Amino acid sequence: MKRRDPATEATDPALDALIRAFLSLRSPGELRSFLEDLCTPSEIEAMADRWRVVPLLTADVPYREIHDRTGVSVTTIGRVARCLDLGSGGYRIAIDRLEHPANDASH
């Protein structure tokens, strides 16, 4: 993995272009195709594993039980939990919008 300067990471033109590409997609099928072209199968699996544990963590399910239910490693569960607590807020935005889609009608 390349090391990036945190001061310029937020304004990385390549990242901005990738974000615009994601936002241009109009259906789950289009997004799935894009992810399959962009990522390796193991990268997609890793992202799906992370997302799989988010609702369980927000429901305060213990790590070991999450691992037993999902097969996701306790290390990954801990990383996701840390992002939920100290991250940029992206997981929380997504989970809130999925749970309360009417709240996002203006966006």
Tens of pLDDT, residue by residue over 22-65, are 999 999 999 999 999 999 999 999 999 999 999 999 999 999 99
Residue type, 9: E
For the chain, how far is it from start to end, CA to CA, in angstroms?
Answer: 34
Domain parsing of the chain, residue ranges: 40-100
User: What DSSP state is assigned to residue 46?
Assistant: H
Tell me how far apart the alpha carbons of residues 42 and 20 are, in angstroms, rounded to a whole number.
24
Check: CB of residue 96 under 8 Å from CB of residue 103. Answer: yes
Backbone angles phi, psi at 50, to 5 degrees: -60, -45
Joined together, the tokens standing for residue 39 give: 């990522």
Q: What is the pTM of this model?
A: 0.81
Residue 75 scores a pLDDT above 80: yes
Return the closest-CA partner of residue 50 out of 23, 25, 75, 22.
75
